[in-house]
């Protein structure tokens, strides 16, 4: 879930805290994998949300999103031109639609958050948009190393996306995460000198980040529906969103939100150096 967070100290988590975060992250990863195979023609976004809620609760965790500032569901589900914060309902998915799922789990005092986007029925002409967004996530993750500045994540994402002819959303950012859903720092998906104080943050081991490129096929501009949550592309073009919660280490970032458990970036299936 994307948000603009207020500026304050960036936490560095202890080994005990990281073990708790790993549990929450694995539950998030399991739930996303469960939903991925259920995104087929004829399913409703509300049914997907119910599957997610049931699995998270069955694993002994709580729902990070439901009730957060009044948000009504366990997941955010985005269809076609919805960028983030789509509220699940009785919408029936059709083959060829672009669908994103974003969710979080809260376990033993700690949150993790992740997202993916797919195409219903794996048909259609939009795989390049999804590949670009996922590649941008990997490019950003590769910069989440101790000693780097946060702006290197932002620059890597922007360069990857724009070199392929797409736009990064600038009105929403990634964020720190842990005891709260949204903690410092803000993690923009673009770099503009002086726009964010957090750009100059030096990353240190134990920092936990939710990195989440949001990529539009058309303009970078977005607008919010009357429900106060649903964010859409301003021009009605498609959007995609991928996210992982990661830990900064002395070497590679540790990806927490995988169904098989935490892994270093280079051990993630399908990872390729961007």
The DSSP symbol for 229 reads -
Q: Across residues 141-156, what is the average pLDDT? A: 97
Distance CA 208, CA 246 (A): 6
State pLDDT tens for residues 222-233. 999 999 999 999
pLDDT over threshold 70, residue 136? yes
The distance of Cα 167 from the centroid of its chain, to the nearest Å, equals 17
> What number of other Cβ atoms are within 10 A of residue 260's Cβ?
12
Q: Across residues 136-165, what is the average pLDDT? A: 97
Do the beta carbons of residue 237 and residue 81 sit within 8 Å?
yes
What pLDDT, on the 0 to 100 scale, is given for residue 273? Answer: 54
Domain boundaries, the chain: 15-266
DSSP class per residue in 79-127: ETTEEE-PPP-SPBP-TT-EEEEEEEEEETTEEEEEEEEEEGGG-SS-H
- Please give the class, per CATH, of domain 15-266: alpha beta
What pLDDT, on the 0 to 100 scale, is given for residue 269? Answer: 76
pLDDT over threshold 90, residue 209? yes
pLDDT over threshold 70, residue 152? yes
pLDDT over threshold 50, residue 4? no
Give residue 57's region: left, alpha or beta (phi > 0; psi -120 to 50).
alpha
- Determine the number of helices (DSSP H) and then strands (DSSP E) in the chain: 4, 16
pLDDT over threshold 70, residue 119? yes
> What number of other Cβ atoms are within 10 A of residue 4's Cβ?
12
pLDDT over threshold 60, residue 109? yes
What pLDDT, on the 0 to 100 scale, is given for residue 8? Answer: 61
Torsion (CA) 146, 243, 214, 238 in degrees, nearest 10 = 160
Take residue 126 and report the two structure tokens written for it: 């939009």
């Amino acid at each position: 879930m994307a948000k603009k967070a207020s500026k304050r100290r960036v936490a560095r988590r202890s080994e005990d805290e990281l073990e708790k975060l790993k549990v929450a992250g694995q539950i998030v990863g399991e739930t996303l994998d469960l939903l991925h195979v259920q995104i087929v023609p004829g399913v409703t976004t509300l049914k997907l949300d119910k599957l997610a809620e049931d699995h998270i609760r069955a694993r002994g965790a709580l729902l990070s999103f439901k009730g957060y500032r009044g948000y009504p569901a366990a997941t955010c589900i985005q269809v076609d031109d919805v960028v983030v914060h789509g509220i699940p309902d009785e919408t029936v998915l059709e083959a060829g639609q672009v669908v994103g799922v974003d969710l979080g789990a809260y376990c033993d005092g700690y949150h993790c958050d992740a997202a993916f986007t797919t195409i219903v029925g794996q048909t259609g002409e939009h795989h390049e948009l999804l590949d670009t967004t996922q590649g941008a996530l990997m490019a950003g993750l590769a910069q989440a190393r101790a000693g780097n500045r946060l702006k290197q994540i932002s620059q890597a994402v922007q360069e990857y996306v724009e070199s392929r002819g797409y736009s990064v959303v600038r009105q929403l950012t990634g964020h720190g995460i842990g005891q709260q859903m949204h903690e410092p720092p803000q993690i923009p998906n673009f770099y503009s000198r002086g726009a964010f104080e957090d750009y100059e943050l030096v990353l240190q081991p134990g920092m936990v980040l939710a990195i989440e490129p949001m990529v539009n096929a058309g303009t970078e501009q977005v607008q919010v529906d009357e429900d106060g949550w649903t964010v859409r592309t301003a021009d009605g073009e498609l959007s995609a969103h991928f996210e992982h919660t990661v830990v900064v280490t002395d070497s590679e970032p540790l990806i927490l939100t995988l169904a098989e458990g935490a892994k270093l970036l280079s051990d993630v299936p399908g990872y390729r150096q961007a």
